[in-house]
Amino acid sequence: MSPLRWTAKSAENLAGELSRRGHRCGKDAVLRILHRQGYSTQGNSMTIEGRQHPDRDARFRYTGGRAGEHLAAGDPVVSVDARKKEQAGQYAQKGREWRPKGDPVRVRDHDFPDKELGKVTPYGVYGIGANAGFVNAGTDHDTAAFAVESLRRWWRAEGKGRYPAARRLLVTADAGGSNGYRTRAWKAGLAGLAAETGLEITVCHFPPGTSKWNKIEHRLFCQITRNWRARPLASHQVILETIAATTARTGLKVTAMLDDGTCPKKARISGKTMDELEQRALARHGFHGEWNYTVLASPRPAPEPGPPPPAPAGRCGQATLNHPALTGMGPADLTALAAALEVPFGARREQRLYQHRGGPRRGSGRAGGHNRKLDLTGHLLATRMRQHLNLPPKVIGACPAPTGPPSATPPAGSPPCWTRSRRSPPPRHPASGCAPSTTCANTPPQPESA
């Protein structure tokens, strides 16, 4: 038996197959039988949902409550989202439109992109209280910077005049995309917009997989799709005029604007910048603060810097170890030696890495090379302590602190840094602290033996 079901074939094919099996009939007879049996041609029903968050319904109720609170106070509430990219040019559009019989609009037979016009990304801002839409048609990438710029343009063109006394703005958005709740650049851009406009911007993200419940989808975008059905978007001007001509029975009015600015992709916001935003500009809500937060118009004052972190216990800084009693050299002499050896040391290290890699460096070299624990001064200190005091490597490795600012001198009474080793240190001269087998500037001359 064929794995293809009978109901997946056309009425004409079904009639032909029945005739071959001895049941002569035509296509109309097959259609009448199928209708009497309760069959009809149907598409797919997109009703199977994925995983649902346990607080999904509560999140919708929370977003609705905040929206009602802002609307009752006369503050703007907007729904934002980006439509799929549209090709600008003489390309086919889905749908049908009334035209003289036999005179369809002729379009390209292939949808290769037009290099001059490119693609257009309509980013929409729908005012829920005013029932007014604003579309910023961007010609570059759909990034967080583009999303924030679209919101800024809406405020300058529509929101500022419609809400002159507003001090708050509520934005409802999807969980992902350029305005997703995980996008750092989106939050950083909103912080700049809040400081620029003086608005306290509250953002409520919808649960993942529920973008079709966003107001902008079924109050603005669906009307735009209906308005340009079977109409080629031949140019940027045609796109703007078609969007601006969109209306609905509810009194919807739409404003369209072209944005030909550049929005580079992969803009990076460092963790340090995000920490500062979290401390000063972001106020997480008590209910799922990762999805609901407020960007303050006036950032909180910067916290006072705390004391520097203490040096690790049992370790000494370079300033402490750079002592004649430990190195046999004056501090200035060792520092000068380190400066003189800086270039040969770096050249020797690069030569060693070249041989290890089997070729030149491939990536963009970072300043300072690898993240070594010791710099050249630390290596010199370890070498001089080995030569001067004859200490084992394990003891020397426990003494120097990692490269960084000099740490404070260990407090009085603290155990010396070599007490971690199992071996006992050699006896020290009572006056200079040096080993008896070495000589330093603080060692008094010894009388010759008789």
Domain range summary for the chain, segments of one domain joined by +: 6-36, 56-96+113-295, 311-358+374-407
Q: Is 282 helix (H, G, I), strand (E, B) or coil?
A: strand
Place of tokens 């603290």: 414
- Tell me which residue of 291, 327, 355 sits closest to 53, measured CA to CA: 291
Look up tokens 């099996």; give the residue. 21
Which pairs from 6-10 meet CB under 8 Å and 24+ separation?
Answer: 7/39
285: which strand partners? none
pLDDT under 70: residue ranges of the chain: 1-8, 50, 310-315, 363-373, 400-450
List, in sequence order, the alpha helices (H) in 132-251.
144-154, 160-162, 184-197, 215-216, 222-227, 236-244
Closest by Cα among 389, 393, 395, 396 to 438:
389
CB 173 within 8 A of CB 203: yes
The contacts found for 306-310 with CB under 8 angstroms, 24 or more apart, are 308/405, 310/407, 310/408
Beta bridge partners of 132: 127, 253
Query: What is d(CA 95, CA 278) in angstroms, rounded to the nearest whole number?
Result: 47
Half-sphere exposure of 383 (CA within 13 A, CB side): 11
Distance CA 291, CA 217 (A): 20
Q: What is the pLDDT of residue 403?
A: 53
pLDDT attached to residue 3:
52
